[in-house]
Structure 1
Amino acid sequence: MSANKPALLRRAALLALACSVWAGAHGAAVVTIVNGNAPDEGFNDPTPVQPVGGNTGTTLGQQRLIAFQHAATIWGATLTSKVPVRVGASFVPLPCTADTAVLGSAGANDIFSDFPNAPLPNTWYPSALASKLAGDDQAPAGEPHIRARFNSRLGLFDDCMAGSGFYLGLDNKHGDKINLVTVLLHEMAHGLGFQGFTDEQTGEPYEKRPSVWDHHLIDNRTNKLWVNMSNEERRMSALSETGLSWNGRFVTGQVPTVLSPQSVMTVTGRRAGGAKGMYEVGDASFGPPLAAAGVKGDLMQVVDQENGTGLACAPLSKANAAGVKGKIALVDRGECSFVIKARHVQDAGARAMVVADNAPGPVTGLGGGDPAIAIPAVRVSQASGTALKAALKKRQRGKSAVVVNLTIDPERLAGTDSARRIRMFVPAEFDPGSSVSHFTTDAKSNQLMEPSINADLPHEVTAPKDLTQALLQDIGW
């Protein structure tokens, strides 16, 4: 798991640790935290701290452990297993700089096939799930089912994202800090089975056996399951941008209750020319969501760079402000955060913001958070931005006659394919640790198991807020 504001999550195989045990969660399953830290380190760090957000710990180590317990309680109340789930965890120094950091990582400690009561023969299952299905612990005595480690230096040192450390409160009021409970829920889900064991970069199954994950991945262009593909077909599917979906009855059954209609942009007007038509857009995690009523107005381009682009990373000039006032502002991605751009065009009087991407690729959302943003914002692809700019070349100072309507398509659900199955994250350039093992970033509302932590995530893993539990049900939980 890495971070560079916003945090990007990465799951991986993990660490070796010691074996003191701390009490786990109570519910339909028991989740036990195995403390892997030495005295005075990590969970045992004696640094005094003030209680925060319902976390009553008075030392840094206690608060870290209480946050873990809280996440374990949420998962324990969600799962069903008579075999306690052991999470081997520690806080240790991990690589970081002033602007970027490895937050941590988590995953299954071991995998098993052909165990008693295995639903699918010759198929890999993660340790915790194999034990649940067998009704008996499959892990070697004392071994954790899940391994996890997190950065003990984050936000505490000048060379490790100072000021942007973990928020240890339990109330989700994390502000501009990284919400540890949300990160823990995400990473525990990977360890519980939200991951495959086939090499996504080569398409080759581990020891030539598919995982239960492969039985639910489907190429939505061919309707062919991964388990029935060749290595090369799997490799190409993992680079298909929008071509890979999750095929499971629990997830697909919950999709209509969890996901919202797809946001779209319709372009009309007498000077729209070749830009006329309907465009898929990515939603912002800040500002008001789009609605059926739409936000309609002339599109006006911000130009504040010598090359003809508009970054809106500083307050708009008098001419740009006059151009976007009461209109919809078109700006370019780059140089500063999306919320800074939104704040500047909002201050200039714009009714909404459209961000044109600066590189080829599928449409994704706009990350960030700022409660002061009161206008909607969306993102369009680089190709769409180029078409819009071409139509705007003949604009007048106060109007463009290129009319944009930002609205929703009630027939389509954000982040799904034509069969209303949620898509998986498979960018055209393979992203180790993220590709295939996460939901698409196009989902709306934002989902816990996207490859990035969004600021608006609740501490929930079930419908109608989230699809993570439903996916774990699909694989056998």
Structure 2
Amino acid sequence: MSNKPTFLRRAAAALALACCTIGAAHAAATITIVNINQPGVGFNDRTPAQPVGGNNGRTLGEQRLIAFQHAADIWARTLTSPVPIRVEAVFEPLVCSADGAVLGSAGAIEIFRDFPKAPKANTWYPGALASKLTGTDMASQGRGHIRARFNSRLGLFPDCLPGSGFYLGLDRKAGEQIDLVAVLLHELGHGLGFQNFTDEGTGEFFDGKPSIWDHFLVDIRNNKAWVNMKNDERRLSAIGGATLSWNGERVYKAAAGILAPEPQLLISGMAAGATGGKHRVGDASFGPQLGQNAVTGELMPLIDQASGGGLACTPLSPANAMAVRGNIALVDRGACAFVTKARILQNAGARGMVVVENTDDPVSPLGGSDPAVRIPAVRIDKATGERLKTAMYRRSRTSSGVVASLGVDPDKLAGTDWVRRVRMYSPEEYSPGSSVSHYSVDTKPNQLMEPSINPDLTHDVLPPHDLTFPLLQDIGW
């Protein structure tokens, strides 16, 4: 093959530029925002706005642009590149409903391979990274390197997640709103290269060639890298559950100083039988955090439904209160918020709460916030919950013979595999746009590049708080 670089466009045809551009000055890299909104909308929306959280823009559009520049400045201070990075950005209506919404998206506009100084031959690189590596702007005809879109209707209309709009402040005090700066940092991370160009749904390489991402993805079950797999192997690896890891040196070294020990449920006792041992859990964003000093008690199922289930959404009956008092309560997911269940169980004297998932989805954390909750809580998968209920079938009113300890595994980092490589998001059902191109949801503390924006995120992309930049360093930044 000749040394002429090959490129393919990843986005739609170029849009006419509108208004102006602004850039980050005096930085290790320069990131320029190219405003492609039409007059009067998006970044050019003239709706008056009051200053909020250090954002002193006087209109909605100005505040959006200031928040965007703030996020771009954070990335500009982090990166090193001789080539200015252009981000074609727009606020426009995106898919949303009263119960959920697309916050935004971003990605490389063009990808390149076999360019001068490319670290790996026959391998696709995103445009901004390819330009950095070769020292020349690779974008065609003055295009941007990254295309970014964000939801202009979020929280502003009754059919688009009303009451949960973007928080435009710069101070991380979003409360119940969605922190726009955190969303922007996440999406810019994708555009810089935190994304795969292989079709995870089919396992096919883009134009028959792997991306730099494929060199670092490893299936835990056979320790095989995606770059060495066949199409169907990659397709199955993307939906393997907790079976896909990142095999990059920078992420591996940084993880030990960032990630906490993995939360766990340890089951023992005379009646435990085959359920005895360690079980993976999703811990809670409310209540005390799990630690080395485990909270231990007999596990007792709550039964307040005709079906034999227990929801704990209303004050407990005397029999249920007696069963959980001084013990750890096992309840089913559904019908009310997790914090509601925890408060009710706490009021009844329970020492902790274990929530059983009601779908076949993998384990995920428990969301919610309530400073009044003082007992620990975790979530377990549906199959584990059913086995525990079976083990407790022959119990007395106050004793099950199954002992539960809620704590952490000191030998395992949260969100890592058995050799401490950080796991990637590979749910059992393929999720376009989310699968493979994010960290696992059970990293702790929550990481910027998980598939959801968590309310406890810092505006950091670097250790000792975050693993985003170490991954970008692994691929060449």
Distance in 2, matches of 1:408 and 1:376, equals 12
Distance in 2, matches of 1:370 and 1:183, equals 24
Secondary structure in 1 matching 2:141: coil
Displacement of 1:287: 2.3
Displacement of 1:14: 6.5
Aligned length: 466
Any idea what the Cα deviations from partners look like across 1:53-90, whole Å, max 9, x if unmatched? 11111211111111101111111111000111111111
More divergent stretch after superposition (356-365 vs 378-387)? 356-365
Displacement of 1:303: 1.8
Distance in 2, matches of 1:224 and 1:276, equals 32
Any idea what the Cα deviations from partners look like across 1:438-475, whole Å, max 9, x if unmatched? 11112111111111111211111111111100000000
Q: Is the 8 A contact 2:203 2:235 kept in 1?
A: yes
The alpha-carbon distance between structure 1 residues 317 and 371, as it changes in their structure 2 partners (threshold 3 A), is: same
TM-score w.r.t. length of structure 1 = 0.94
Distance in 2, matches of 1:250 and 1:110, equals 26
Secondary structure in 2 matching 1:208: coil
Letter of the 2:20 partner, please give it: V
Secondary structure in 2 matching 1:323: helix
**Equivalence for 2:435:** 435
Letter of the 2:320 partner, please give it: N
Any idea what the Cα deviations from partners look like across 1:402-442, whole Å, max 9, x if unmatched? 22111111111111112210111111111111111111112
Letter of the 1:304 partner, please give it: D
Secondary structure in 2 matching 1:97: coil
**Which runs of 5 or more structure 1 residues have no equivalent in the other structure?**
1-11
Q: Does 1:197 pair with 2:192?
A: no
Secondary structure in 1 matching 2:339: helix
**Equivalence for 1:375:** 375
**Equivalence for 1:116:** 116
The alpha-carbon distance between structure 1 residues 23 and 137, as it changes in their structure 2 partners (threshold 3 A), is: same
Distance in 1, matches of 2:43 and 2:331, equals 45
**Equivalence for 1:223:** 223
Any idea what the Cα deviations from partners look like across 1:234-264, whole Å, max 9, x if unmatched? 1111111122110111001111111111111
Aligned runs of 1:154-233 on 2, under 5 Å? 154-233=154-233
Secondary structure in 2 matching 1:235: helix
More divergent stretch after superposition (304-313 vs 362-371)? 362-371
Aligned runs of 1:140-155 on 2, under 5 Å? 140-155=140-155
Distance in 2, matches of 1:36 and 1:391, equals 61
Q: Is the 8 A contact 2:110 2:126 kept in 1?
A: yes
Secondary structure in 1 matching 2:37: coil
Q: Does 1:23 pair with 2:22?
A: yes
Q: Is the 8 A contact 2:426 2:436 kept in 1?
A: yes
**Equivalence for 1:9:** none
Any idea what the Cα deviations from partners look like across 1:145-188, whole Å, max 9, x if unmatched? 11111111111111111111111111111111111111111110
**Equivalence for 1:385:** 385
Secondary structure in 2 matching 1:129: helix
Letter of the 1:21 partner, please give it: C
Q: Is the 8 A contact 1:17 1:88 kept in 2?
A: no
Letter of the 1:223 partner, please give it: N
Distance in 1, matches of 2:190 and 2:69, equals 17
Letter of the 2:362 partner, please give it: P
**Equivalence for 2:3:** none
Q: Is the 8 A contact 2:14 2:143 kept in 1?
A: no
**Equivalence for 1:107:** 107
Displacement of 1:322: 3.5
Letter of the 1:299 partner, please give it: L
Aligned runs of 1:340-359 on 2, under 5 Å? 340-359=340-359
TM-score w.r.t. length of structure 2 = 0.94
Distance in 1, matches of 2:142 and 2:317, equals 65
After TM superposition, what 4+ stretches of structure 1 lie above 4 angstroms from structure 2? 12-16
Distance in 1, matches of 2:370 and 2:13, equals 37
**Which runs of 5 or more structure 2 residues have no equivalent in the other structure?**
1-9
Q: Is the 8 A contact 1:14 1:148 kept in 2?
A: no
**Equivalence for 2:471:** 471
The alpha-carbon distance between structure 1 residues 171 and 373, as it changes in their structure 2 partners (threshold 3 A), is: farther
Distance in 2, matches of 1:369 and 1:127, equals 40
Aligned runs of 1:67-82 on 2, under 5 Å? 67-82=67-82
